[in-house]
Structure 1
Amino acid sequence: MPVRQSVGVHSPSGVELAGLASLLVAVPAVALLGNSGRKHTGAARRAHLLLAAGAAVATGAALAGLVSALMAHEQMRAHVRTLGQAVAVAMALGTLTLLAGTLMLPGAAENRRAALRHLLDGLVIAAALWFVGWTLVSEPTRILGDLTPVRCLSVLLGAGVATIATGLTTILAVHAHRPRHVTVRVAAGVTLVAISATALPGGICQGGPVVILLGALLLPAGLVVVARAVKVADRPVTVSGDIIQRGTGYAFVPMTAMVIAGTCHILAGGEIAGLGFLGASIEGFALVSRQYLALGDVRSYTLRLRQREAHFRELAHTDPLTGLANRRGLVRALREPAVPGRPRTLVGLDLDGFKNVNDMRGHDVGDAVLAEVGARLRAHLSHGDVAARLGGDEFAVLMRATPDEAMAAGERLLAVLCEPYETEEGSVFLSASVGVAGSLTPGDTCELMRDADLALRYAKQRGKNRVERYQKRYDELLRRHSVLENELRHAIERDQLRLVFQPVVALPSVRPVGAEALLRWHHPDLGSVRPDEFIPVAEESGLIGMLGAWVLDQACGQLAQWLTAGHDVWVSVNLSPKELHAADYAGQVAAVLDKYGVPPQRLVLEVTEHAVATDMDELIRRLVELRSTGVRIALDDFGAGYSSLGQLRNLPVDILKIDHALVAEPESRTGTAAPLVDVVVRLGHRLGLEVLAEGIGTPAQREIVEAAGCRLGQGSLFGWGVPAEHLEAQLRAGRSCGSRQVPAPRSRPAPIAPGVPARSQIVMLGPGMRQVRAVLPTDPAFSSDQDVRSVDAPREMGQS
C-alpha cells in the first residue's frame, strides 16, 4: 500500500512572531475608538463609528492573514499569494472606511460639498504620486533594482490606497476646517494604516518577513495616533480666529511633477504602460470633476451673492421698525415708470403731539405706536400703493390715484390713525395731519415730495387733525415765509419796527388807565407786514426772543416817560411761550425795569391760553418767578378753549382778559349781560382777579360788559393801536377832565401751595417779601383778610 507522506507545519520565525505580537497592540486602539464613538451624537458619532469600524476591519484582516500565513502547511505555500490578496482587499476596505470617517470629522470640512472637494483634491495629488512612483520603479529607471516587488494585486491595491491617503492628508493639512491639528493627526494615522495595508499583504504575498514586520508595526502605530487624536478631540477645544483663505495653487505642483516625470521616462526610452496610463487618467478625471464642482460652487456663490445683495438692497430701502419703505424706498418707487392713464398722488401724514408720547411714556411705547401706525397703513393700502416712513413720526403713501381719490383716501387714513393705540402702558390717543399732492404726468420726485410736505405743513398750521390739498399759492407763501425770515433778522438794526399802544379804559368812565404795547413792522419793499404773519415766523425761526427783548425795552422806556410826565398808567406786553421758558427771563425783566426805573407793578406781562396747554407745573414755576419781580401777570384770550376752571384757580395771574369771541356773543334784547361774559366776570372777581374785556367794538357790547360788572375794557370802540404821542394826548385829556382815576390792577393772591392750610396762602408783595393772607373760600368777594402779617422770606418762597 502507498506510503502517506508526512505533512509538516511551517515553523514561524522570530520576525513573524514579533509582527504578530505588535498587531495585538492595535486591539486596545480599536476599543478606544469604539468607546469614543458612543460618546458623541450626530455627524461626530457617525465619524467616530466609521473610524472604529475601519480600524476593526483592518486589524482583523491583518491578524487573520498573519496567523493564517504562520499556520500554513508546507503544501499550502503555493496559495499564500491568494491569501495576501485577500488580506490586501480586506485591509484596503478598512483603510477606505477610515478615510471616510476622517472626512466626516467635524473639523475636516464645513459641509459635505467641502468634503467632496477635499476628496477630489486628494485624488489629484494621489494620481500624481502614483504616476511619479510608477515612472521611478518601472523600466528603464527601476530605482529599486532587484528589490522591485513582483507585480501583484496585494502590492498594487495597497499602494493605490496609500497614495490616496497621502494625498488626502496633504489636502486636509492645507484646507481642513478648524481646529485643523486634530483632523491632520487623524489623517496622518490613517496614512500609516494605509502604508501598513501595502506592506503586510505584500510581505505575505512575496514571502518577506521584514516587510511583514514593518506592516505589523505601522498598523498599531497608525491606530494609536488616530485614537490619541480622537481622544484630544473629545475635550473642549478653543477655536482660534484664523480665517485665512488659502488658494488652490497646489494643483500645479502635482501636474508639474507628472509632466517632468513623464518626459524623463519617455526620453529615457520608457513607454506609458497600463499602470502609468491609469494614474494619468485618474488625474485627468479628478481635475475635470474638481473643475465641474468649482463651477457649481461659483454658480452657487453667485446666486447667494445676488440673493444677499437683493436682501441688503431691500433692507437699505426698508424701515426696520415698521417694515414699510423708508425715504430711499419711496424715492425708488417715485422713479419707477408711471402706469399710463393713472396719475400718481403722494399723501404725507404726520402724527400730532407724538413727541409727548416719547417724553411721557418712553420710547418703547412710542416705537410700539409707530409700529401700529405701519400696520394700519399696510392694512388700508390698495394694489400698487407704497407706504413709507420718512423719519420720526412722518409717513407717506404713494397712490395710483387722482388727487380727488387721494383726498378721500386721506380722510379714511386720518380716521384710522386717530383711533386709540393700545399699548402695555395703556391707551394712547393721537390725531394726525395729512397733506395731499398729485401730478398728472411723471415729474421731479423731489418736487412731488416737496408739494406734499407743503400741504402737510399747512394742515398743521390750520389746526391739525385735517386733510389739506396742495395749492399753487403755497409756493408763494413758502417764498414769502423765507423772505420774511431773512428780512426780520435785520428789522431792528434797520429801524423798521415800532410800537403802537391800544388804550385800556376804566368802565364806565372810559378814562384811559393803561395800554397794550403792540408790535408793528413796516418794510420799505414789503410794506406793512401784519403781526399774525411775522410773529409765527419769528417763533419758528427762533427770532422771537430778540423781538421780545426789543419790545420789552421799548415799552418800559415809553412807560418811564409817561410816569415821569405824571400820568397814572400801566403798560402790558405780550409774552411768547418760548420767551417764558427761556433761561433767567425773570432776571431779564428785572434788569429792564431797573434800567428805566419803572415800578414793577406798572408792567403787565400777558400770557396766552396756549401757554396753559403746556406743562402746568413748569408754567406755574415760571410765572411765580416773574411775579417775584413785582410785575403783574395777565391771562390773555381767556375762553379760547385751552384753560379750565381748575387750572385758572392754580395759575398765579392777576388779570383775566376775556376773549373777544365771548364779548361778541349775541346780546339779549333786554340789555342784560351775555351769559358767558357774566359768568367769566363773576368767576374772575370771586378768584380775586381784575377782569378786562377785550374786543369791545360796539356800544351794545360795552353795555353788556358793564352790566356784567367788568371794570376794564379794551377794543376798537375806545381806539385802535396808536403811536405813543397820540395816546399821551389822550392821557392829558383824561387828566384835564378831572375824572376819577382808576389805579393799576390790584394784586391777586397766589394759588394755594401744597401743604399750606386751606384758609391761608402766600402772596408775593415784592422781592424778598411775602404776605400770609387768610382766605375764606365761601366769601363772594374773596376779600376777607384776617391775621395779616409780613415776614422776611427768600424769593423762592413764592413758588406754589
Structure 2
Amino acid sequence: MHTPPGMIGAAVLSALVALAAGVLLAAAARHRAGPHRQAYALLAVAGAVALLTLLCGLAVALNRSGQWPQDPQGVGWPSVIACGTAVSGLLFCLGLLRMPGVAGSVGSAARLALDGVILGTALWFVGWVLTSEPTRLLGDATPTACPAILVGSVSAALSTGLAVIMVLRVSAPRRGLAVLAVGITVATFGGLGLAAGLCQAGRTVTSVSAVALAVGLLAAALAVHRTDLPGEVAIDVIRHDGEYAVVPMAAMVGSAIYHLVAGGRFDLLGVVAGSVQGFALVARQYLTLHEARAYARQLAEREAHFRQLAHTDALTGLANRRGLLRALHRCAEEATGCVLLGLDLDGFKHVNDMRGHDVGDAVLAEVGQRLRGNLRPGDLAARLGGDEFAVLMHGGPTEAGVVAERLLKVLGGGYEQPEGPVFLSVSIGLAGWTDQPDVELLLRHADLALRYAKQRGKNRIERYDGAYDQLLRRRTTLEHELRGAIERDELRLVFQPVASLPSVRPVGAEALLRWRHPELGNVGPDEFIPLAEECGMIAKLGAWVLHQACHQLSRWLADGHDVWVSVNVSPRELHAPEYVVQVTEALRAHHVPPQRLVLEVTEHAVATDLDELIRRLTALRLTGVRIALDDFGAGYSSLGQLRRLPIDILKIDHGLVAEHEPVRPVGRDGPAFAPMVDIVMRLGHQLGLEVIAEGVTTPTELAAVVAAGCRFGQGALFGWGVPAEHLEAMLEAATSAGARPSRSAPEQVKPGVGHETPEPVNQNVGSVDSSHEMRQA
C-alpha cells in the first residue's frame, strides 16, 4: 500500500519548517554574546535534537506503507522518537533556566526547577488518570505497546510546567518569553504525539504531531531570534509561592478522587507520581524556608550596618552626635560616673578658607585618629559636626583633667599636609554629672565650659562653673537688648578731653560710647563693644557714633570753639569698603572740616592685614581726616610697619606712662622724665608724627611727659569722659581764662620737682588753632 499524498505533504512541510527553525536557532546562538550565551546554545542544541527526532520520525512514517497501525518489528523506532523528545525537552528546560534574567543564583534556579516539577507532576498525573483505566480518554489510540513513551510524557510535562511557571512569574513585557514557552510546549508534545502515532495511533496523529513539532520549533526559534533579554523573573518567597503549590496539589487530589470514584486503581506509576509531588513540595518549602532565613539574616546584618552608620561619622570614623547621645543615655541608665569633654578646633575656618576643604577634611580625619589613639579603653570620642568634637570618659574630674591636658598637647601639634603643615590649637570644656544624671544638662554644661574657654583666649581647658549660666544669660540678654538700643535712645556719647601741654587747655576730645539700659543699668563698653563685634552690630553702632560726634563737633565749631574730635574705628568697620563713603557723607552732612575729625585705629587692626589696612587708611586720609594709631606700645606694630602706615598721630599707651617710674637725667638738675615716652616722642618726631600721651593720672606723670617733650596729653588728670555740655563748659572756661588779664588768670600747675610752685601760664585759647598745633612737631 502506498503512502497517502496528504501525509507526504505534511512531512515535507514539517521538514521545511523544522529546518528553518533549526537555522534560526543556530544563528541566534552564534550571534549571542556575553555570559548568557550558554542559554542560547542549549536552546539551539535542544532544537537540533528535536529536528533530528522529527526527521527520523518522518522517515519511519514514510517508509511504512501498509504496516499501520502497529508493527511489532518497528516498535524500536517509536521508542527512539520518544527518547529524543525527552532529551530535547530536558535541554529546553535547562536553556530556559539559563536564560538571562531568569535565575540570578543556583538557589533561584533550583526553586524554579522544583516549581516546574510540581506543576509538571500534577499535569502528568492528571493526564495519567485521564488516559488510563477506567477513563481511557484516547480510547484505542492510547499507546500501550511502547513503554518508552512514558519517558517522553514525563519530559513534556516537566517542560510544560517550567514554561508555565516562568511565564506566570516573569515581569512585563512577557510576550517574548511566553512565545518561547508555548513553542517549547508545543514542540515537546508534538514529539510525544509523533512517537505515539508511530507506535499505534495511526497516520493522522503522526502527521498532525509532526506539523505541531515543526511549528513549535519555529515559534521557539523566532522568539529566541527576535527577543532581547526577558524580564526579571519575580521570585517572592513571601507572597506568591503558595499559589504554585496549592493549585497543582488540588488538581492531583481532585483527579485522584475522580479516579477512585470511577473504579480505577493506583498502580506503581500513580504512587511514584504522588511521591515525586510530595518530595518536590517538601524540597521547595525547605528551599523557601532556607531563603527566608538567609534573607532575614541579611536584613539583620544590613540593619546592624545601617545602625552603625547612623551612629558613626563618615569622615573621621568616630561616633557622631547620635552615637554620643546613645552612650550618654546608657551611662545615665547605669548611673555610672562619667565626664564629658567638649572640644573645638581654634581657627579651623581659616584652614578651609586658605587651604581648601580637602585639606580641612584631611586635618579632621587626623584629629579623629589622634583622639582614638590617646583615649583609655571604654572612653568614646565623637565628632558633633564641623570642627566640634566631644569625648565621653568614665571616671571623675581628676582623671578627665589629666586626659584633657594630654589632648590639649596632642591636638595642638602640627598636621602634615602636602602643601605644608597646618597648626591648630584646641579649646576644651569639661563637665560632669550634677546631683542626678541628666544628659541634656551635661551637654549644656560642657558646651558652656567650652564657650567660656574660647572667650578667655582659646587653647585652654575650662571646667564648668555655675557662674557660666549667669554670664550666658547676661550675654544673651545684652545681645538682644543691644539690637534696639539706638531706636530706644539708650546710647549716648561722652567726651574725654585732650589737653595741650603744659598749659593743660582742652584742645580736643575723644568720643566714647556709653549705654544705659533702663533695667540693666550702665553697661560698660568693654562688655558690649566685643559683643557688638561678634553679633555683627559694630558697623551700625560705629555709624551712629560717627554722625553723633560730627554733629556735636559742628555745634562746637559754630560756637567758636577751636577743637577737634576723635572717633574710635573697629577693624571690621575699617575693612568695610563702604566706610570711606560713610565718613565723607558724615562730614558733608554736618558741615565739619575734615581736619577736625580724627579716626583712631588700634594696633590690633595692624595685625590683621597690613596691606589692606594701608589702602583703607590712605583712602581715608584723602578725604582730609587725620589718622591716629591708638595704644601704641602695647600691641602688635613694629617700627617697620610704623614707617609704612599713613598716620598722623601716635597715642602712647598709658602703660608706657604709668608703669615706668620717671628718672632724672644724669648729672643734671631738672624735672624727671619717662624714658619710654621720651623714646616714642623722638621716634614720632623723626617720622613727622604728633604724639599724645594717654593715661596721665598724676602730676608726676604729667611732669614726666612734659619733660619728654610731649605736647598733648589725655587721662584722668585732665578729666574723664563727660557729657557734651560739660566739655563745652570746660572749653568756654578755658577761653574765658585766656581772655582775662594775666593777674586774674588762674595759675596753671607747671610740673616740677618736689613741691615747687610753677609760674602762671597765660595763653589765649581762642587764638590757638588746635589742628595747626597737632601738625607742628
User: C-alpha deviations, 1:218-252, integer Å up to 9, x for none?
Assistant: 5554444444444446xxx5898999989557535
Q: Tell me: CA distance 1:747–1:708, structure 2 relative to 1, closer, same or farther (3 Å).
A: closer
Counterpart for residue 713 of structure 2? 713
Counterpart for residue 122 of structure 1? 116
User: C-alpha deviations, 1:32-76, integer Å up to 9, x for none?
Assistant: 7567657777742433443344445555566667768888999x9
Counterpart CA distance in 2 for 1:463 and 1:450 is 20
SS at match of 2:78: helix
Q: CA deviation at 1:478?
A: 0.9
- The residue type equivalent to 2:381 in the other structure is A
1:450 aligns with 2:473: no
Q: CA deviation at 1:171?
A: 1.6
What is the aligned counterpart of 1:297 among 291, 298, 308?
A: 291
Counterparts of residues 361-510 of structure 1 (less than 5 Å): 361-439=355-433, 443-492=437-486, 495-510=489-504
SS at match of 1:448: helix
- The residue type equivalent to 2:712 in the other structure is L
- The residue type equivalent to 1:532 in the other structure is D
Counterpart CA distance in 2 for 1:112 and 1:179 is 24
SS at match of 1:422: coil
SS at match of 1:395: strand
Counterpart for residue 691 of structure 1? 691
Counterpart for residue 46 of structure 1? 38
Larger mean CA deviation between 627-636 and 564-573 belongs to 627-636
Counterpart CA distance in 1 for 2:12 and 2:96 is 27
User: C-alpha deviations, 1:424-458, integer Å up to 9, x for none?
Assistant: 44433332222222226762222112111111111
Counterpart for residue 756 of structure 1? none
Larger mean CA deviation between 82-91 and 118-127 belongs to 82-91
- What is the TM-score when the length of structure 1 is the normalising length? 0.80
Q: Tell me: CA distance 1:267–1:207, structure 2 relative to 1, closer, same or farther (3 Å).
A: closer
- The residue type equivalent to 1:51 in the other structure is L
Counterpart for residue 763 of structure 2? 739
1:634 aligns with 2:658: no
1:92 aligns with 2:86: yes
Partners of 2:499 and 2:714 within 8 A in 1? yes
Q: Tell me: CA distance 1:370–1:562, structure 2 relative to 1, closer, same or farther (3 Å).
A: same
1:136 aligns with 2:124: no
Larger mean CA deviation between 609-618 and 570-579 belongs to 609-618
1:160 aligns with 2:154: yes
Partners of 1:419 and 1:430 within 8 A in 2? yes
SS at match of 2:318: coil
Q: CA deviation at 1:409?
A: 2.2
Partners of 2:86 and 2:154 within 8 A in 1? no
Counterpart CA distance in 1 for 2:597 and 2:356 is 41
Identical aligned residues as a percent:
56
User: C-alpha deviations, 1:728-781, integer Å up to 9, x for none?
Assistant: 3433343314437664457999xxxxxxxxxxxxxxxxxxxxxxxxxxxxxxx9
Counterpart CA distance in 1 for 2:632 and 2:206 is 114
Larger mean CA deviation between 16-25 and 37-46 belongs to 16-25
1:308 aligns with 2:323: no
Gaps of 5+ in 2: 666-671, 739-761
Counterpart CA distance in 2 for 1:300 and 1:677 is 87
Q: CA deviation at 1:477?
A: 0.8
- The residue type equivalent to 2:763 in the other structure is S
Larger mean CA deviation between 433-442 and 24-33 belongs to 24-33
Gaps of 5+ in 1: 1-9, 750-780, 784-800
Partners of 1:11 and 1:70 within 8 A in 2? no
Partners of 1:129 and 1:163 within 8 A in 2? yes
SS at match of 1:519: strand
User: C-alpha deviations, 1:291-311, integer Å up to 9, x for none?
Assistant: 332222322222222222333
Counterpart for residue 761 of structure 1? none
Partners of 1:105 and 1:183 within 8 A in 2? no
Q: CA deviation at 1:698?
A: 4.3
Q: CA deviation at 1:514?
A: 1.3
Counterparts of residues 647-726 of structure 1 (less than 5 Å): 647-667=641-661, 669-670=663-664, 677-678=677-678, 680-699=680-699, 701-702=701-702, 705-706=705-706, 708-726=708-726
SS at match of 1:390: strand
Counterpart CA distance in 1 for 2:770 and 2:299 is 81
1:358 aligns with 2:355: no
What is the aligned counterpart of 1:529 among 518, 523, 526?
A: 523
- What is the TM-score when the length of structure 2 is the normalising length? 0.82
- The residue type equivalent to 1:407 in the other structure is G
- The residue type equivalent to 1:719 in the other structure is G
Q: Tell me: CA distance 1:645–1:452, structure 2 relative to 1, closer, same or farther (3 Å).
A: farther
SS at match of 1:598: coil
CA RMSD across the alignment: 4.0
SS at match of 1:515: strand
**Paired positions, count:** 738
Q: CA deviation at 1:198?
A: 1.4
SS at match of 2:499: strand
- The residue type equivalent to 2:292 in the other structure is V
1:557 aligns with 2:581: no
Counterpart CA distance in 2 for 1:239 and 1:499 is 86
Counterpart CA distance in 2 for 1:36 and 1:177 is 23
Counterpart CA distance in 1 for 2:521 and 2:57 is 118
Counterpart for residue 81 of structure 1? 75
SS at match of 1:349: strand
User: C-alpha deviations, 1:192-216, integer Å up to 9, x for none?
Assistant: 3422441233334336344444454
Partners of 1:690 and 1:745 within 8 A in 2? no
Counterpart for residue 744 of structure 2? none
Counterpart CA distance in 2 for 1:225 and 1:632 is 100
Q: CA deviation at 1:474?
A: 0.7
